[in-house]
Amino acid sequence: MSDTVIQPRPIGHPLAGQRMSGARMIMQVLADEGVTAIFGYSGGAILPTYDAVFLYNEQAARAKEPQIPLIVPANEQGAGFMAAGYARASGRVGVCLVTSGPGATNTVTPVRDCMADSVPIVVISGQVSTAAIGTDAFQEAPVPTMMGAVAKHIFLVTDPTKLERTVRTAFEIARSGRPGPVVVDVPKDVQNWEGVFRGEGLLPIPGFRRRQQELEQALIEGPAAAHFFTMLGESSRPLIYAGGGAINGNAADALAEFATTFGVPVVTTLMGIGSLDTTHPLALRMLGMHGTAFANYAVDDCDFLMAVGARFDDRVAGVPAKFARNARRIAHLDVDRAEVNKVKRVHWSHIGRVREALQSLTASGRASGFSRDFSAWHAELAELKRVYAMNYDRASPLIQPNYIIEEINRHTRGAAIITTGVGQHQMWAAQYCDFTEPRLWLTSGSMGTMGFGLPAAIGAQIAQPQRLVIDIDGDSSIRMNIGELETVTTYDLPVKVVVLNNFGDGMVKQWQKLFFKGRLSASDRSLHKKDFVKAAQADGFRYAMRLEHKADVPRVIADFLSFKGPAFLEVMIDPDAGVYPMVGPGQSYEEMITGEFIPSRHKVDIKTPGPSEMF
């Protein structure tokens, strides 16, 4: 679904030929791979490598060279999500360093999250000594078995002479093709082993490298390009449907160039937000379950759909047969062959690097003099955006979450990095925040992991220290990794944390109100006694405020965002505020529920999802 360029490696390593421990080799490879931060929690089985980190930074300090900071979280899940936030915000491989047993098992969730959203991280986990593997030794866990099911690849290093090459190969796999997480499980005796550092070399993985070479060499030949532009020329309502692959494949600039060259409007998935500047005239923002009504109607109306690094997932194409129901032709650009024709049959496809594919199509269209007047379609879409604009209860005396995010957006102007947890707050942020560039919107998409937002913001701030980083979170989601508040202040990171408090699992409550006759089973937190402001103060936040009155919103948001250093803001929002539009599971865009404040062009009866329909 996405692709990245493999970075050239140094030639003639200055340390080649030196004897060093396996742990020092690990650390040196990390440095050679351009790692600028490590996120992790120590423990017995990984102690040699932690010592190597200390010694590397001590030597770097003496030599007045850049150190590689080690960011210590409250737990290993936080470390994994910090590495993910670092990778998402920078495009580089994030690194997570954990111990054996519970250290490794705590990273299973972020590893699966990274696999689901195609995020490149390398997890290096300590393991019990080679001789003890399989004996149920203290803090032993079957890491290859567990991680093999959720990671892009897993290595268990039992031959210490292969350690250096294995770690280097892990980075190659993580960043190549469709990015993803790679786990390297290193027994303690392998870390303590001493050998000769080579400074070069990779493991032989011929099948993988052959596939990468095929992707690099994949070109859109003349006949294929001609066929594509014939389909586009026969269209009067073309639409680009861009997914996370457009961002992971560094294709945002190529996408914008193609769209503007030929006048093709763009909708994006949740993960594709930022692949085209949301304020661009051709941008129709997000489609899907909680996409804008005008984006979803545009998908219904288009006659030619061009999918770019997207996978027709259930949050977008809930009923595949009815998705883009008027499209006579569908084209698909992707780096992953498995995604093409997996959910919906297409009429034209190209498997290869998305950036290069878009550039090739743009060049072909210009060379052939392709031109088509889509002004009537643009006018239709402008009317859709006007009539079915996003809206909410602006007259309510209660603080509406949409208003908070609009006010934040008024200050950030699409230039801040926004992370989120998962739930209603996530969707409100996606709907009401602008993003003028890629890698500014960081959220857990496919896995939908609560607790993602705060550690991801920490990783993003480490990766982009000059950026304003804001975690827009929910009261339930932030509880999952609330220990990371202390991590923010420990490293004095100027992260801004907003908690939209509606006393519970807001999205679950919304579903229970719509589909379970209002029975709020296990989702209401109104009797809980958590004082988030005191928690933030206890963790060292000098700015920690609660916002309760609508009239105070502009002043408090301005003060909060301008505060120099970590800042925490709890906002008491309308507990009954819902996320609209909403397309129920297993339903088409014709059945989209738009709520009280957004018009609908269909009369919609709210239907309870079928017994097999997912959340």
* pLDDT number for residue 550: 98
Q: Mean pLDDT across the chain, nearest whole number? A: 96
pLDDT of 9 higher than 60: no
* pLDDT number for residue 586: 87
76 is catalytic: yes
* pLDDT number for residue 573: 98
Contact of 62 with 91, CB cutoff 8 Å = no
Pairing between β-strand 38-40 and β-strand 70-71 as defined by DSSP bridges:
parallel
Question: Looking up tokens 């569908």, which residue turns up?
Answer: 330
Q: Which of 27, 271, 306, 507 is catalytic?
A: 507
Domain at 227-387, CATH from 3.40.50.1220, 3.30.479.10, 3.40.50.150, 3.30.1370.60: 3.40.50.1220
Instruction: Choose among 485, 529, 498, 316: nearest CA to 407.
Output: 498
Q: Which of 152, 188, 344, 496 is catalytic?
A: 188
* pLDDT above 90 as % of the chain: 94
d(CA 37, CA 69): 5
pLDDT of 438 higher than 60: yes
Q: At what angle do helices 163-175 and 22-32 cross, to 10 degrees?
A: 30
pLDDT of 556 higher than 50: yes
User: Looking at residues 244-273, what average pLDDT do you find?
Assistant: 98
548 is catalytic: no
Instruction: Choose among 223, 249, 429: nearest CA to 356.
Output: 249
* pLDDT number for residue 605: 82
Q: Given this structure, which CATH class describes domain 19-214?
A: alpha beta
Q: Which of 18, 67, 139, 537 is catalytic?
A: 139
Contact of 303 with 404, CB cutoff 8 Å = no
Q: Which of 7, 54, 59, 138 is catalytic?
A: 138
Q: Which of 20, 25, 28, 76 is catalytic?
A: 76
pLDDT of 595 higher than 60: yes
pLDDT tens, residue by residue, 235-256: 999 999 999 999 999 999 999 9
Q: Given this structure, which CATH class describes domain 401-572?
A: alpha beta
Domains 227-387 and 401-572 equal at CATH topology level: yes
231 is catalytic: no
Q: Which residues contact 397 (CB under 8 A, 6 or more apart)?
A: 550
| End-to-end Cα, the chain, rounded Å | 24
534 is catalytic: no
Domain extents for the chain? Answer: 19-214, 227-387, 401-572
pLDDT of 18 higher than 70: yes
Pairing between β-strand 182-187 and β-strand 194-196 as defined by DSSP bridges:
unpaired
Burial 323-339 (b: 16+ CB within 10 A, else e): bbeebebbbbbbbbeeb
- pTM, entire model: 0.96
Pairing between β-strand 121-127 and β-strand 94-98 as defined by DSSP bridges:
parallel
pLDDT of 499 higher than 90: yes
Q: How confident is the model at residue 5 (pLDDT cuts 50, 70, 90)?
A: very low
User: Looking at residues 338-353, what average pLDDT do you find?
Assistant: 97
pLDDT of 2 higher than 70: no
For 26-67, the three-class secondary structure string (H helix, E strand, C coil) is HHHHHHHCCCCCEEECCCHHHHHHHHHHHHHHHHHHHCCCCC
d(CA 191, CA 99): 12
Q: How confident is the model at residue 116 (pLDDT cuts 50, 70, 90)?
A: very high
User: Looking at residues 566-579, what average pLDDT do you find?
Assistant: 98
138 is catalytic: yes
Nearest 5°: the CA angle 483, 486, 491 is 135
